[in-house]
Amino acid sequence: MYPQLRPSSSISVNSVSKACFLLCLFILHGAEAATNSSDKITSIGAIIDVSSRIGKEEKTAMEIAVQNFNNNSLDNKLELFVMDSAGGGPLKAAFAAEDLIKQNKVKVIIGMETWEQAVLVADIGSEAQIPVISLASAATTPPLMPIRWPYLVRMVGDGVEQMRCIASIVHSYNWRRVVVIYEDDVYGGSSGKLDLLSEALRKNGSEIEYRLVLPPFSLLSNPKEAIQEELIKLMEMKVQSRVFIVLQASLPATTHLFEEAKKKELVGIDSAWIVADTITDLLDSVDSSVISSMEGALGIKTSYDDNSTSYKNLRTQFRKTFWGNYPEEEDFQLGIHALRAYDSISTVAEAVKRMTNSTSPKMFLETILSTNFAGLSGKINFSSGQLSYIPELKIVNVVGKKYKELDFWVPKLGFSNNGTLVIVGNGEAPNRTGGLAGPVIWPGNPQRSPKGWAMPTDVKPLRIGVPNRTSFNKFVSTSHESGETKYDGFCIKLFEQVIGELPYEFVTHNGTYDELVLDVYNKKYDAAVGDITILANRSLIVEFTQPYMESGLSMIVPAEVESNWIFLKPFSLEMWLMTAGIFIYTTLIVWFLEARSNEEEYGRTRKNQISTALWFTSSTLFFAQKENVKSNFTRVVVVVWMGVVFVLTSSYTASLSSLLTVNKLEPSFESNIRGVKVGSDSESFIKNYLQQVLKINKDNINTFTGDDDYAEQLDSKNISAAFLEQPYARIFMSQNCKKYTIVTDNYRFGGLAFVFQKGSPIATDVSRAILQLSENGKFKELEETWFKPVSGCSTNGTAEDIESLSLHSFWGLYLFTGIASTLCVLIFIACLLPNFPGHQSDTNSSNESILKKIGRFASFILKAEYSVTPRTDAAPGQALDQAPDTTECNSKISEYASSNGSAQNNKLSLPAELQMLQISRT
């Protein structure tokens, strides 16, 4: 028989069953553990500020990246250890890195919010041979970075391109001065990006006017009060720029900054605000109230592709996880910081998958640096320990409770149009001027781009400094009536026309012009109006408008009478000699041609003939000749001579009139100006110019305070010359042109202009208005009103030098009259030649020498005498000593003269020259 079962037996059965179940579970767990033990686990350490919005995004993205990799990987697994670095700075990050390496045995460290944390952790990682992937941005790429931190890998580029982008935005709107705002770190160091921005602005012609440094927000017990104090300092410093660049600040500090700036009316019309990516990159993940406080601001934002499938999948995961972990946050959008954190885990995961059995840290680092894939934040590949790919930047505009994209910035090239880069001929993108591509909604919503300057209002008008004393009160004059100062003069009236409707007030300045310019620089005055000369040293500290008058150095000397022989100056010495020579030559020609045929006018004696010919030629100079001319040859000579006389007398009269009207006198001491007494303005830069440039001894320079002093000193011979700027010299000469003369040399200055503070946009507007007045003729009308010369003087005090007329201008005229006269004589002689006894067939004549024949011919021509042997073939009743018949010659001459006379439309009678040849021997 079998024994009967008892309850205890049943209990025993249950115990055995439970034991078997536990044994099965143990076996299954052991089998799973054995399976998992074959997986390769890579430990990753993360050092982030888990209390900040950026840290929350990075932590969430890293956890999702690890989870996604582990779900899809069979052989390799990732394990994430997160250490909080909030409030501890670089030292806390360094201690966290040591704990991760020693306790958690991590193979790589990711994170770090600041560059100071990154380099300190990189030192620890290099010592332990642990790769460190930094998510912090450095201002510039440190030199020899791979050598200093061989295990450091940078996932974020430097700030060079962003600073170039901001500087180009400033340049595109012609803003010349900016205010830079940044939150200082807890160690009191200035932002490293500040130097980059300053250099980029300088290359574009702008500069930083003021640096507003905010204390670390984490250390402030009352942030609003601290920010208010800094804004009050800015206003007390009379900073005129209204272009504010928030270079680096936390989001809470930025929010308070905009709120307090609005209260101080620093955010409004004519102001512009630009925020860097440290703030703008968070706009995707902050609530709408924070965004609305920044309305009208421009922001620089890192560009990434938010339309890809990978991005959309991650966004869905991120929202779900982030909301579950941080329900207190109001916005669950995915930002660039989360994308970079996700890509950093993906970089490690790619390296893990590509690793072989080797566990060498150096091999792991090289595998990470050789990674190449398309990440969510951009292309991931490395060169020299940092990302090779520099992402594009977006320029966004905060409008309402959101932002809109305006333009793009392509690294190393510049602006693009809606993401499409426009390349010019030299292979570079154009440096755009005139503003961004998209329409901008500015603070206060004005209809134009902001001036970027503290524009005057009725409550706070422009303070315009006006010199109390000028050498010439036609430019600026002040008077006091009933306790009120009144301003007048050319400069005042011109400024009133070009300033438009801007409110202003004049303030009398008691001091020198250099002090006036310096007061504008020191912001005592917003501008200065007067006869202020543009100089190189002045232009370094202030802004000059378009010059409204040219400026140069002029020397004024007494206008003494040059000489009692000034009437000889119209012609040069060569001209006078040639004129006298051609006059004598023409006289001889007239005597030679006319004396033989016009005995009744010239007489029979040689003396009467010469004197009559001389008188006749002289009277033609005044067209007053009365003697009759019988020879056609003489008529030709006289006609040509009278043409020459007409040209010469007209030229002489014009030249002499110019000399007497505009008399420019070169002072005898000009070549030795250093040895004479001269005068200049007591408050002008001219005195220093005379000493330093012209090397005139200061003891020889007398200074004066009024325009009347120059005339008195010149008249009393206390000074030999007065040095004035060209505008003053013109005014002085317009009133004293008959007593003094002006000598202008090549000493040029920048001109007279108005003065404004450096970077003031009002200077540009005033310059444009001055040009408009010049183009429409109103400037000339104003100039004629104030600088009207006295009777008999011109507004131009300078005179051109009147040179004597030279022979070079008249040699052709002299040549013509000489040829004409000579030709007439030669023709006349040719006609007489057949009657010369040397042409007769005479035995004695043929035996004569050539010299004797020439002598007899000269006597025949000059004296109208000749001796011949008695003619054996003479007709009965003809005297042997009678001159031969000249009928043939007379006929030839008559024919020539008749043809010549007909050419002149005059019917001339047969000339009587040959009658003089019928001379009887006494």
pLDDT per residue over 648-682, tens digit each? 878 877 777 776 655 544 555 555 677 788 888 76
**Range of lowest pLDDT (87-91, 119-123, 450-454):** 87-91
Q: 787 lies in a domain?
A: no
Q: Give residues with Cβ within 8 angstroms of 138, minimum separation 6.
A: 115, 118, 154, 158, 159, 192
Percent of residues, the chain, with pLDDT higher than 90? 32
Answer whether residue 790 is part of any domain. Answer: no
Question: 654 Cβ partners below 8 Å, 6+ apart?
Answer: none
- The CATH number given to whatever domain includes residue 294 is 3.40.50.2300
406 phi and psi, to 5 degrees? -110, -45
Spatial separation of the C-alpha atoms in residues 197 and 200, rounded to whole Å: 5
Least confident of 26-30, 309-313, 764-768: 26-30
The answer, yes or no, to whether residue 611 has pLDDT greater than 90, is no
Domain boundary (655, 689, 708) is at 655
- The CATH number linked to 494 is 3.40.190.10
Window from 188-197, 418-427, 581-590 with minimum mean pLDDT: 418-427
Distance CA 886, CA 881 (A): 15
Encode pLDDT of 365-404 as tens digits: 999 999 999 999 989 999 888 888 888 899 999 987 788 8
Of 637, 655, 673, the last residue of a domain is: 655
- Report residue 393 CA to chain centroid gap: 30
Picking from 819, 811, 810, the residue whose alpha carbon sits closest to that of residue 637 is: 819
Whether 187 maps to a domain, the answer reads yes
Rounded CA separation 696/248 (Å):
57
- Report the distance separating Cα 444 and Cα 448, nearest Å: 11
On the question of pLDDT at 300 being above 90, the answer is yes
The verdict on 164 and 274 lying in the same domain is: yes
Q: Where is pLDDT greater, at 277 or 616?
A: 277
Enclosing domain of residue 641: 569-655
Q: Are residues 273 and 376 in the same domain?
A: no
pLDDT score recorded for residue 834: 67
Instruction: Classify the C-alpha dihedral 752-753-758-759 as positive or negative.
Output: negative
Q: Which of 484-493, 536-545, 788-797 has the lowest mean pLDDT?
A: 788-797
Q: Answer with the residue of higher pLDDT: 528 or 805.
A: 528
Statement to judge: residues 78 and 214 lie in one domain: no
**pLDDT over threshold 50, residue 32:** no
171-185, 309-323, 404-418: range with lowest mean pLDDT: 404-418
Of the listed ranges 451-460, 480-489, 712-721, the least confidently predicted one is: 712-721
Q: In whole angstroms, what is the distance from residue 135 CA to residue 144 CA?
A: 19
d(CA 749, CA 727): 11
DSSP string, 139-196: SSPPTTHHHH-TTEEESS--SHHHHHHHHHHHHHTT--EEEEEEE--TT-PPPTHHHH
pLDDT tens sequence across 213-222: 998 887 888 9
Give me the pLDDT at residue 503, please: 94
* Cβ atoms within 10 Å, residue 143: 7
**If pLDDT is split at 50, 70 and 90, which confidence band does 763 have?**
very high
Judge whether 606 lies within some domain.
Answer: yes
- Least confident stretch, 321-325, 349-353, 716-720: 716-720
CB neighbourhood size of 656 (10 A): 17
Q: What is the pLDDT of residue 558?
A: 79
Q: Is residue 727 a contact partner of residue 547, using CB atoms and an 8 Å limit?
A: no
Q: Do 176 and 282 fall within a single domain?
A: yes
Dist. CA 533–CA 552, nearest whole Å: 10
**Residue 203 domain-assigned?**
yes
Residue 920 lies in a domain: no
Helix, strand, or coil (residue 38): coil
CA distances from 563 to 569, 652, 660 (A): 10, 17, 11
Report whether 297 contacts 286 (CB < 8 A): no
* pLDDT the model gives residue 899: 40
30: pLDDT strictly greater than 50: no
Question: What average pLDDT does the segment 133-150 reach?
Answer: 84
How wide is the angle at C-alpha 241 spanned by C-alphas 300 and 512, nearest 5°?
150
364 and 400 part of one domain: no
- Same structural domain, 266 and 408: yes
- Report the pLDDT value the prediction gives residue 426, as an integer from 0 to 100: 45
Same domain, 196 and 98: no
Average pLDDT over residues 610-628: 64
**46 pLDDT exceeds 80?**
yes
Pairing status of strand 76-84 against strand 40-48: parallel
pLDDT band at 515 (very low <50, low <70, confident <90, very high): very high
Q: What is the average pLDDT value for the chain, to the nearest integer?
A: 78
pLDDT at 898 over 70: no
Residues 69 and 186 occupy one common structural domain: no
Whose structure tokens read 């809109």? 404
* Percent of the chain topping pLDDT 70: 73
Query: What does the block give as tokens for 726?
Result: 């060209």
In a domain, 573, yes or no: yes
* CA–CA separation, 724 and 702 (whole Å): 13
Q: Is residue 196 part of a domain?
A: yes
Q: Express each pLDDT in 817-848 by its tens digit.
A: 778 778 777 777 777 666 666 554 444 555 56
Same domain, yes or no: 394 and 253: yes
DSSP 295: T
> What pLDDT sits at residue 621?
62
Residue finishing a domain among 606, 637, 655: 655
Q: Are residues 337 and 398 in the same domain?
A: no
546 vs 779: CA distance, rounded Å: 13
Domain identity same for 287 and 408: yes
Reading the block at residue 40, the tokens are 């390769």
| Residue 895: pLDDT band with limits 50, 70, 90 | very low
Residue 766 burial (10 A CB sphere; 0-12, 13-18, 19+) = buried
pLDDT at 2 (0 to 100): 34
Clarify whether residues 69 and 152 are in a common domain.
yes
Residue 880 pLDDT > 50: no
Tally of domains in the chain:
4
> Which is nearest to 166 in space by CA: 141, 202, 216?
202
